[in-house]
Amino acid sequence: MLSAIRFVSFPPHSRVHLLRWPNGPYLASATYPWWVSSFVDESGLHVKAGDGGAGCVAMRREAHVAKGGPNGGDGGDGGSVWLVADHNVASLLAFRDFPHRRAENGTHGQGKDKHGKAGADAIVAVPEGTVVKDHDGNVLADLVTHGDRWMAARGGEGGQGNARFLSNKRRSPNWAEQGEVGEEIWYKLELRLMADVAIIGLPNVGKSTLISRISAAKPKIADYQFTTLEPNLGVVRVTDNQEIVVADIPGLIEGASDGKGLGHQFLRHVERARVLLVLLDLAAYDMVSPSDQLDVLLKELGNYQPDLLERPRLVVGSRADVQHPDVEWDGMRISAVAGIGLDELVGKLGTMVSEVREAIVEPTGMVVHRPVADAVSVEKIDDHTFIVLGRAARRAVAINDLTNIDAMHYVREKLKGIGVNRALRRAGARDGDTVQIGELEFDYEEDDA
């Protein structure tokens, strides 16, 4: 009779083994299949910045000091989440099973003017060439080179303690600000490989065999189509002073630019390549001529991104050792298996990459595509409902106790000073309309002044 049952889930297609000790419980283990990839070039990412700490309401209470005044400290700022390009990270595998990243919260302020501690930032390492998109597919940032940093979520500011509100009119303010809530956002990450040369061709044309012969990469090689399901990178030594990075792009098929098969995922890795190496099969079993193969490949590249056709390219006939007798080809011929023409190929690629490197002016900084929001804006929901957007407006109403008449006067003057009243009038707000600012909702009343 079973006294307890524990259900454990395993990844799809994994092989589960059941073991049992004599008179003991069953133990389960799983063996992952060979096709579970360790290279991931797309992933979701959820980031949560730290919340700011709340300000403190406190008054000096010392012997022989009458009416000592406020001394509540400020809350600490919440930590932000930063994405940093790191050349030691090869893929987005770390985000496949655990896409959540969170920064620390700031601590609350205390009496005696003790300010809260700021939360630590969360530094998230991503591969070079990572593109960050929002849920609509808009590009927000492109982390191209090692060390590029982009703030994915801004930490909330800490609330001000009541000592900050001391003035000639307010001698003993008894309110403080709440901490601001940190940003929480979902992103889509895409990796576009950073390679000097991208090897492209139809399936089973010998791309993986070639990269295994000219570099130390060890891709999977077999005699059937679509052996390569993920890009492979290899470093090729051209001379003692020159090395180039070569990417083996999985085989393209007709219609890849329209998303057929895994076309978009494969073509994405061609975008950053400086030179294209086009391999044409001289021993195609279906008797597709090299010129027809070239037409298909160039058509797919042009449909996906027209400027790829302007990229320097080297067209080479592959598998020359088993070339079909009826196939005519006057261009450069190689055989990765027999070693034919490999030295000449590497030399030409090295020369082409050097010329492109000298001609291209590398960007001096990262380009951030996310626009900066206005300080204050008003969005009209319906004829009688308005939402005030903007960090400054949310901060103005982040008061602990809005039932306090002095605090209410402070909030009204603050909103007026940052232009909220003027923005509401321009948006068409009238007396009695509902206005929302953060968590605060109130009825609009025209200022007579």
Cβ(245)–Cβ(90) below 8 Å:
no
Q: What is the DSSP secondary structure assignment for residue 384, as one 8-state letter?
A: T
Stretch 295-321: mean pLDDT: 88
pLDDT range class, residue 115, cuts 50, 70, 90: very high
Q: What domains, with CATH codes, occur in the chain?
A: 37-191 (2.70.210.12), 197-359 (3.40.50.300), 377-443 (3.30.300.350)
User: CB under 8 Å to 448, separation ≥6 — which residues?
Assistant: none
Q: Side by side, which strands form the sheet with 184-191? A: 100-102, 42-48, 184-191, 130-133, 139-143
Average pLDDT over residues 81-107: 89
Q: Give the per-residue pLDDT at 329.
A: 86
**Does pLDDT of 418 surpass 70?**
yes
Go through 288-311 and write b for each residue having 16 or more CB atoms within 10 A of its CB, e for each that does not: ebbeebeebbbebbeebeeebeeb
List the structure tokens of 96.
């496949």
DSSP sequence for 92-115:
SGGGTS--EEEPPPPPPPBTTTBP
pTM of the model: 0.69
What confidence category does residue 146 fall into, taking pLDDT thresholds of 50, 70 and 90? confident
Q: What is the pLDDT of residues 169-196, one digit of tens each?
A: 888 888 888 888 899 999 999 888 777 8
d(CA 157, CA 135): 26
Walk across the sheet containing 81-85 and list its strands. 122-126, 81-85, 149-153
- pLDDT for 150: 94
pLDDT, residue 361, reads 58
Residue 367 DSSP symbol: P
Mean pLDDT of 240-256: 72
Highest mean pLDDT among 92-106, 162-176, 193-207: 92-106
Does residue 323 contact residue 316 with C-beta atoms inside 8 Å?
Answer: no
Higher pLDDT, 149 or 404: 149
pLDDT of res. 252: 64
pLDDT for 302 equals 86
Q: What is the pLDDT of residue 218?
A: 58
Q: Residue 222 — very low, low, confident or very high, per pLDDT cuts 50/70/90?
A: very low
Residues above pLDDT 90, as percent of the chain? 20
**pLDDT tier, 226 (very low <50, low <70, confident <90, very high otherwise):** very low
The pLDDT score that the predictor gives to residue 38 is 53
Average pLDDT over the chain reads 79
